Amino acid sequence: MKKLLIAIFALNILFAQEVESIQKNRTLIIYKDSFAIIKEPILWNLKDGKNITFFNNLSPNIVFDSPLLNIEGVEVGSQTLNKNFYSTDSYLKKNIGSLVEVKPINDSVVQGALLDINSSSISISTNKGLMIFQRSRVEYILLKSKQVQNKFTPQISWEIFSEGLNSVTAELTYLSSGFSWKPVYKLQLSDSDSTAALSIDAEVVNGSNMNLLGVDIKVVEGLVPVGGSSKARNMPMVASRGMTMSERTNELGDFYIFDLGTNLNLRALETIQFPLMPKTEIGYEKKYIFKNSERDQKDEPLSIEISFQNSKANNLELPLPSGVIYLYEKDMNGELSFIGKNSLSHLYKGGNAVLDAGKAFDIIGKRRILNFDRQNNSEESTISLQIMNTSNKPIKVKAIEKIIGDWVIKESSSMYIKDDASTIYFPLEIQPNSSELITYTYRKEWK
């Protein structure tokens, strides 16, 4: 009986050298720079004295000098990274000179010695000479060898010294490439042209061949320097799924984290959209833009501009990360129709988002140069702008005029606003089935 207990005890110590699963989930923190931080919870049962412990469940895209073991109560003597694992290309590169068969698409198999392989081509030596195949035109490559190494993941081992039998918890943190995320916005405009439903998702990409099951996922807004680069840090932000906007405070130095949830699944080569923030009703403004420069004469539909304020009063109180935004609008039957896609730049608190929603079918602008007089040291021009609203809704219009040089407006039939040194605009409100005519004269002088 005593021998049996000793044997069981010895087996327990042996199995304790391998990692055991514990209750805490692994954590995936994805940055926008196409890399992620993976945090692995570990439990080891250590014997007295020297222990050699291992961890195998690593991403093949690990950054090898990044692993950090957070452990207390014991002494870590060394950390060894075993890079002796293979991807397909690295395995074939280890077998340069070996006999291979290459099957081009819609062609017969070619046999020869492997000379080189890279991301774009494969070179082999055949009895007819050197042959180079484009990877995109190859159906398969067959290595004529049965000795295939079966280790395809990296491994880390540690030399740990413990005083007595000890059950310790640790956390392994390391960087891995192959992961990315971006915000995806969807703005659903109502038929009132005043309110919209804004939803924001985080599109997470697992570009690795590693399955992550039951993982806690977070995403970080802001660019950090990686590989010696010094990228500027973006506007920080903070959010956490299932909380109100004001409760979302999870700050990471000068960066902030969005918490997408716990116990999530992200399989290899999978792209998933997780809610980044709850769907929110916001107010927006719709304007029709007629933009011209000095010499333009044209008849054209007006551009549609959608804008909204990033403010607490508009149910938005966080800096919004850059991403893509899809615009949808309800038609007369209440069905949502796609009306455009825009890139949304980083939007700070208090900022205004301006989106392009295409061209208006029944709002037409006409511009004419009624008079143009150029002298040796002066220039004077009279312009007419006519906006026709043939729709059944009242509209807001912004007629923008670009004038370059040292100019003044001599006279104008409508009130205008000077936007900057080379821009004025006329804010208009036009009733259904009506039109507005504007004439103005500008004068330039120079020496």
- Give the strand pairing for 298-309 and 285-293: antiparallel
Q: Considering 117, 143, 169, which residue would you say is the last residue of a domain?
A: 143
Q: Please tell me whether residues 134 and 242 are part of one structural domain.
A: no
Place of tokens 């006519």: 386
**What pLDDT sits at residue 436?**
96
Q: Please tell me whether residues 295 and 438 are part of one structural domain.
A: yes
Q: Please tell me whether residues 301 and 405 are part of one structural domain.
A: yes
CATH of the domain at 119: 2.30.30.100
In a domain, 271, yes or no: yes
Query: CB–CB of 159/78 below 8 Å?
Result: yes
Q: Please tell me whether residues 60 and 119 are part of one structural domain.
A: no
**What pLDDT sits at residue 115?**
93
Residues 6+ apart with CB under 8 A from 142: 100, 101, 102, 103
Q: Please tell me whether residues 195 and 80 are part of one structural domain.
A: no
Q: Please tell me whether residues 373 and 271 are part of one structural domain.
A: no
Looking at the predicted structure, is the pLDDT value of residue 119 above 70? yes
In three-state secondary structure terms, 268 is coil
Lowest mean pLDDT of 16-25, 46-55, 222-231, 363-372, name the range: 16-25
Number of separate domains in the chain: 4
Q: Please tell me whether residues 60 and 113 are part of one structural domain.
A: no
**What pLDDT sits at residue 331?**
74
Calculate the average pLDDT of the chain. 84
Looking at the predicted structure, is the pLDDT value of residue 245 above 80? no
In a domain, 120, yes or no: yes
In a domain, 96, yes or no: yes
In a domain, 227, yes or no: yes
Q: Please tell me whether residues 216 and 289 are part of one structural domain.
A: no
Greater pLDDT, 58 or 288: 288
Residues 6+ apart with CB under 8 A from 90: none
Q: Please tell me whether residues 116 and 171 are part of one structural domain.
A: no
Query: CB count, 10 Å around CB of 406?
Result: 11
In a domain, 324, yes or no: no
Looking at the predicted structure, is the pLDDT value of residue 12 above 70? no
In a domain, 32, yes or no: yes
Lowest mean pLDDT of 141-150, 195-204, 241-250, 414-423, name the range: 241-250
In a domain, 221, yes or no: yes
Looking at the predicted structure, is the pLDDT value of residue 20 above 90? no
**What pLDDT sits at residue 19?**
41
Give the start-end residues of each E strand in 178-295.
Answer: 179-189, 195-206, 212-221, 239-240, 251-252, 255-266, 271-283, 285-293
Residue 309 pairs with which residues in a beta bridge? 352
**What pLDDT sits at residue 93?**
79
Q: Please tell me whether residues 208 and 60 are part of one structural domain.
A: no
Looking at the predicted structure, is the pLDDT value of residue 18 above 90? no
Looking at the predicted structure, is the pLDDT value of residue 238 above 70? no
In a domain, 166, yes or no: yes
| Residue numbers of the domain that contains 128 | 88-143
Q: Please tell me whether residues 63 and 157 are part of one structural domain.
A: yes
What φ, ψ does residue 351 adopt, rounded to 5°?
A: -80, 170
**What pLDDT sits at residue 86?**
53
- 189-204 confidence digits (pLDDT tens): 987 778 999 999 999 9
Split at pLDDT 50, 70, 90, the class of 154 is confident
Greater pLDDT, 300 or 243: 300
Q: Please tell me whether residues 30 and 72 are part of one structural domain.
A: yes
Burial of 253 (0-12, 13-18, 19+ CB in 10 A): exposed
